[in-house]
Homo-oligomer: A and B are copies of this chain.
Amino acid sequence: MALAHTILALLLKRPGSGYDITKSFDEELSCYWKATQQQVYRELNKLTKQGWVNFETVPQAGKPDKKLYHITETGKQELTRWYTEPTEPTPIREDLLVKVLIGYKMPQPMLIEELKHRQKIHSELLAEYRAIEAKHMAGNQDVEMQFMYLTLKRGIAYETSWLTWCEEVIAMLPHLTEKPDKDLPSLP
């Protein structure tokens, strides 16, 4: 039910349309939560049925009408209840590590390619977060921004730890005994 609560949290900050919420997921929340438009709209329907949010239809000049969603009193109660529940670390599912695990059965250059690919992705994300940090987080900000910064710091730490690991593994790989599995079919 965590998606529901994430949407409630966004609506607690300020009312918004499904479109606005989707944008928030793409922008401010992207480093720790991703949700597609479809998920957001489906969830908003459910939340409306449960009475945790409601909406007013807002006609707009030059744009389609929008449904502006608000969190309700019941919704705030639910969010507060959720807030007191201890959270557990999210289960991770990393294919890359599965590839590393059987790396000794596969041609090593393939694994190194893959690691470099990931290294690139993580360094790009890191650069992006650092740019946001420099642009929006410098100097005195309001409380809302200060708390957003804490979440951004998590994104930075996450990408940094990936990058370091990639570098280390790429450096270590050539020194491990190579023993590709002769059983495996060769690539087309």
A→B interface (CB under 8 Å): 2-3, 5-6, 9, 12-13, 28-29, 31-34, 73, 76-77, 79-80, 83-84, 86-106, 110, 114, 117-118, 121-122, 125, 143-144, 146-148, 150-151, 153-154, 157-158, 160-162, 164-165, 168-169, 172, 176-177, 179, 181, 183-185, 187
Query: Do A117 and B153 have beta carbons less than 8 Å apart?
Result: no
Q: Which of B93, B143, B169 contacts A90 (CB 8 A)?
A: B93
In the assembly, how many copies of this chain are there?
2
* A169 and B187 contacting across the interface, CB-CB below 8 Å: no
Docked CA distance A33–B169 (Å): 19
Contact B87 A32 (CB under 8 A): no
A92 engages B176 (CB within 8 Å): no
Residues of B within 8 A of A98 (CB): 2, 5-6, 9, 29, 32-33
Q: Which residue of B lies closest to A160 (CB)?
A: B161
Cβ contacts under 8 Å, A13 to chain B = 101-102, 105
Q: Which residues of B contact A12 (CB under 8 A)?
A: 102, 105, 181
Contacts of A77 in B (CB 8 A): 185
Other A-B pairs beyond A13-B101, A33-B93, 18, CB < 8 Å? A3-B93, A9-B101, A28-B101, A33-B97, A77-B185, A79-B184, A84-B187, A87-B95, A87-B96, A87-B114, A101-B151, A102-B147, A103-B150, A104-B143, A146-B177, A150-B172, A160-B161, A161-B161
